[in-house]
């Protein structure tokens, strides 16, 4: 294990098993539709999205957005910025947002507002992780992978200063690394 890590919170096989379950739910819920648009939030959700898409059998189109609330700091700025927008219109489309983590909820709230103004037919969210105690009444998570401790986590797309994203598991980062 990397010396920056405190401990592994969710191992690779547990992640893949849960993704199988989430994909099954999504396939069932969207089975009646001709197509859906899956919006993956970069950079953090890329690994989750990739593994999820391998298991989704509902016809779909994939697009990407990049949003930022951190910048180069380890603290949330309170401001969400669109770094990269969707390439294709989503008007009258059934949209599924795929996100890596719900922490403050700022990013998902911002994204939901943006997509609603684009007159989507429906909007659901699939989130890999949510921190304990960070439930947000303004955000409805339709598909949730894991509830994790309220600590800095890395791996499986999650990062600290763009490091540790490609670990095949989710781990707690040692506090001395980010303080």
Q: Which of 103, 142, 159, 162 is catalytic?
A: 103
Q: Supply the mean pLDDT for the chain.
A: 92
Lowest mean pLDDT among 66-70, 84-88, 166-170: 66-70
- For 130, counting Cβ atoms within 10 Å of its Cβ (0-12 exposed, 13-18 middle, 19+ buried), the class is buried
Which two structure tokens, joined as six digits, stand for 1?
């294990």
Q: What is the pLDDT of residue 1?
A: 76
- For 83, counting Cβ atoms within 10 Å of its Cβ (0-12 exposed, 13-18 middle, 19+ buried), the class is exposed
Q: What is the pLDDT of residue 106?
A: 86
What is the distance between the alpha carbons of residues 163 and 86, in angstroms, rounded to a whole number? 25
Which two structure tokens, joined as six digits, stand for 24?
């099954």
With 70 as the cut, is the pLDDT of residue 56 above it?
yes
Q: What is the pLDDT of residue 138?
A: 77
Q: What is the pLDDT of residue 22?
A: 98
Q: What is the pLDDT of residue 36?
A: 98
Q: Strand pairing of 5-10 and 170-173?
A: antiparallel
The per-residue pLDDT for range 135-170, each reduced to its tens digit, is 777 788 999 999 999 999 999 999 999 999 999 999
Who wins on pLDDT, 104 or 118? 118
C-alpha distances (whole Å) from 148 to each of 37, 82, 114, 130, 152 are: 28, 26, 27, 6, 10
- Return the bridge partners of 175, or none: none
**List of domains in the chain:** 12-148 (3.40.50.2020)
pLDDT band at 78 (very low <50, low <70, confident <90, very high): low
With 70 as the cut, is the pLDDT of residue 74 above it?
no
Model's pTM, two decimal places? 0.92
The per-residue pLDDT for range 12-40, each reduced to its tens digit, is 999 999 999 999 999 999 999 999 999 99
103 is catalytic: yes
With 70 as the cut, is the pLDDT of residue 70 above it?
no
What is the distance between the alpha carbons of residues 108 and 141, in angstroms, rounded to a whole number? 10
């Amino acid at each position: 294990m990397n010396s920056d890590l405190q401990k592994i919170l969710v191992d690779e096989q547990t992640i893949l098993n849960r993704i199988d379950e989430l994909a099954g739910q999504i396939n069932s819920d969207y089975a009646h539709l001709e197509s859906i648009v899956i919006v993956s939030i970069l950079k953090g959700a890329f690994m989750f999205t990739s593994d999820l898409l391998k298991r989704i059998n509902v016809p779909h189109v994939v697009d990407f957005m990049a949003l930022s609330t951190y910048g180069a700091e380890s603290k949330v700025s309170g401001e969400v910025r669109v770094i990269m927008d969707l390439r294709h219109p989503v008007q009258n489309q059934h949209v599924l947002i795929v996100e890596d983590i719900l922490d403050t909820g700022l990013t998902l709230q911002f994204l939901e507002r943006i997509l609603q103004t684009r007159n989507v037919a429906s909007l659901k969210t699939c989130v890999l992780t949510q921190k304990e105690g960070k439930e947000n009444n303004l955000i409805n998570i339709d598909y949730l992978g894991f509830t994790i401790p309220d600590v800095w986590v890395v791996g499986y797309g999650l990062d600290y200063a763009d490091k540790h994203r490609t670990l095949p598991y989710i781990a707690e980062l040692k506090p001395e690394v980010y303080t």
